[in-house]
C-alpha cells in the first residue's frame, strides 16, 4: 500500500513531520491531518506513551492513543542510530511543517534544536511545544496536571469549602494543541501570501492556560478582585449552574433579566422578576443565597425532563447533566454526527472515532485512515522518501 496522502482537503499536499507524542502535539497534527495534510508520525523505539495508557483500551491499544492519531502514518525511528537519524532528516527534507514537544535541549544533539533547524531548513515551519517556555522554565516537565496546578486553574476549581480540584481531562494540552494549530495555519498562509520562508512557532502549556482562562486571568491583571473557588456557581451571574429538580439535577443558565422573567414565570412565581432583591443581575448575584432556596423549592415540583421540555419550548437555556456516553447519544439525536468509523490499514476492523467538530461547506474534513499501529507504515514512508524530491 502507498503512503496515506489525502486527496482532498484545504491542506492537501502539505507534509507534516510529527515528532510529538502524548497529547498537545498529536492533537494538533490530527487536526492538520483531518484538514488534508499528510502526517508522518515519527515514534521512538517504544512508540508513543499513550499506546499503553490503559484502561480503557480497544484490543491491545489505549483509546487515549486512538483519540488523537487518526489519519497518520507511523514509522519507528531511534534517533541515536545514524541510519534512523538520516531517515528522520529525509522526512524533514520533504516536509512543510515540523512539530515536536520534547523538553528544551533534548533534540540538540540530533541537530533538531530550533536554531539549527532554521539554518538547515529555512523554508520549514517548526512548531515547538513546551510546558513552561524556553527560557527560565525550559527544564520544567510539562504535564497537564502540573499546569492546572501552577496556572491557578485548580485554585479556581472545586467547592468553596473544599480542596482545589483538577479538571476531568487534560484540557490544557488540548487548548495548547489548538493554539499550535492556529499558529501553523497562520504561518502556512503567511508563507503562501507573502513568502519569507519558514519560521519557529513556540507555544507552551502555561501561557495557553493563562490565555484560555479569559475572564479569570483578566480579573487578576486588570482589577483588584480576589479570585476564589465558587464551585458550580458563576462568579458574576446567578442563577447559572446546577439546581435539583424532583428526581435529579439540571443546569439553568440565566444571563439577563428577560431570561430570569421567563424562568420565574415558568416556575409559577412571576412576582420574583419584580422583587427588588432579584430585579437585576447585580441584585440576583448579591442575594443569591436568598434566591437559591426559593428556586430549589419551586423546581422540586417536577422531574428534570419536565422542566427541560417546558423551558426549552420557551427558549430558556437549560440542559440535563449527562454522562459522556449519554452526551454522544444526545449529539447523535441532534444530527451532529458525533462518531465516524474508519477502517484500519489492513481492513480487518472499523474503529469508531469522535468526529472533527468542523463542518465545512467545502467538505474540507477527511477521514481516511484509523490510528496506525507502531511502525505500521515504515515501508510506505521509505518508498515515499525514495520517490519524493526534497523541498
CA–CA gap between residue 4 and residue 71 (Å, rounded): 8
Residue 115 and residue 140 in contact, taking contact as beta carbons nearer than 8 Å:
no
Alpha carbons within 13 angstroms on the beta-carbon side of residue 65 total 25
Q: What are phi and psi of 157, to 5 degrees?
A: -115, 130
CA–CA gap between residue 390 and residue 184 (Å, rounded): 20
CA–CA gap between residue 66 and residue 58 (Å, rounded): 9
Q: How far is CA 221 from CA 146, 213, 214, 295, in A?
A: 22, 12, 11, 35
Active-site residue identified among 96, 100, 113, 173: 173
Nearest to 233 by CA among 151, 279, 298, 292: 292
Angle at CA of residue 231, ends 229 and 237, nearest 5°? 90
Residue 134 and residue 104 in contact, taking contact as beta carbons nearer than 8 Å:
yes
* The pairing of beta strand 339-343 with beta strand 318-320: unpaired
CA–CA gap between residue 199 and residue 195 (Å, rounded): 11
CA–CA gap between residue 113 and residue 104 (Å, rounded): 8
- Which residue is listed with cell 526534497? 390
Radius of gyration of the chain (CA): 25
* The pairing of beta strand 97-100 with beta strand 15-18: parallel
Q: Is 375 a catalytic residue?
A: no
Q: Cell for 257? A: 433579566
Residue 55 β-bridge partners: none
Residue 62 β-bridge partners: 57
Residues annotated as catalytic are 173
Amino acid at each position: 500500500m502507498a503512503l496515506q496522502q489525502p486527496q482532498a482537503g484545504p491542506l492537501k499536499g502539505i507534509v507534516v513531520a510529527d515528532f510529538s507524542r502524548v497529547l498537545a502535539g498529536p492533537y494538533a497534527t490530527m487536526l492538520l491531518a483531518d484538514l488534508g495534510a499528510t502526517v508522518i508520525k515519527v515514534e521512538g523505539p517504544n512508540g508513543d506513551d499513550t499506546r499503553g495508557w490503559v484502561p480503557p483500551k480497544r484490543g491491545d491499544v489505549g483509546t487515549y492513543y486512538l483519540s488523537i492519531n487518526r489519519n497518520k502514518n507511523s514509522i519507528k525511528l531511534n534517533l541515536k542510530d545514524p541510519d534512523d537519524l538520516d531517515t528522520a532528516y529525509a522526512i524533514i527534507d520533504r516536509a512543510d511543517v515540523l512539530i515536536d514537544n520534547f523538553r528544551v535541549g533534548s533534540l540538540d544533539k540530533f541537530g533538531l534544536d530550533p536554531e539549527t533547524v532554521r539554518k538547515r531548513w529555512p523554508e520549514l515551519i517548526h512548531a515547538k511545544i513546551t510546558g513552561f517556555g524556553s527560557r527560565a522554565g525550559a527544564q520544567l516537565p510539562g504535564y497537564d496536571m502540573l499546569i492546572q496546578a501552577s496556572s491557578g486553574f485548580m485554585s479556581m476549581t472545586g467547592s468553596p469549602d473544599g480542596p482545589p480540584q483538577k479538571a476531568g481531562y487534560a484540557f490544557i494540552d488540548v487548548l495548547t494543541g489548538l493554539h499550535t494549530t492556529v499558529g501553523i495555519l497562520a504561518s502556512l498562509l503567511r508563507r503562501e501570501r507573502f513568502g519569507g520562508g519558514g519560521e519557529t512557532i513556540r507555544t507552551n502549556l502555561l501561557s495557553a492556560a493563562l490565555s484560555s482562562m479569559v475572564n479569570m486571568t483578566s480579573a487578576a491583571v486588570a482589577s483588584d478582585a480576589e479570585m476564589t473557588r465558587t464551585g458550580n456557581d458563576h462568579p458574576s451571574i446567578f442563577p447559572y449552574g446546577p439546581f435539583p429538580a424532583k428526581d435529579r439535577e439540571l443546569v439553568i443558565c440565566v444571563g439577563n433579566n428577560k431570561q430570569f422573567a421567563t424562568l420565574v414565570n415558568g416556575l409559577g412565581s412571576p412576582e420574583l422578576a419584580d422583587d427588588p432583591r432579584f430585579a437585576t443581575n447585580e441584585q440576583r448575584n448579591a442575594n443569591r443565597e436568598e434566591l437559591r432556596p426559593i428556586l430549589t423549592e419551586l423546581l422540586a415540583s417536577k422531574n428534570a425532563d419536565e422542566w427541560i421540555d417546558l423551558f426549552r419550548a420557551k427558549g430558556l437555556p437549560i440542559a440535563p447533566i449527562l454522562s459522556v456516553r449519554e452526551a454522544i447519544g444526545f449529539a447523535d439525536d441532534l444530527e451532529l454526527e458525533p462518531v465516524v468509523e474508519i477502517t484500519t490499514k489492513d481492513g480487518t476492523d472499523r474503529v469508531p472515532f469522535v468526529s472533527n467538530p468542523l463542518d465545512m461547506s467545502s467538505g474540507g474534513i477527511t477521514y481516511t485512515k484509523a490510528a496506525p499501529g507502531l511502525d505500521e507504515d515504515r515501508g510506505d514512508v521509505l518508498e515515499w522518501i525514495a520517490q519524493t524530491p526534497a523541498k
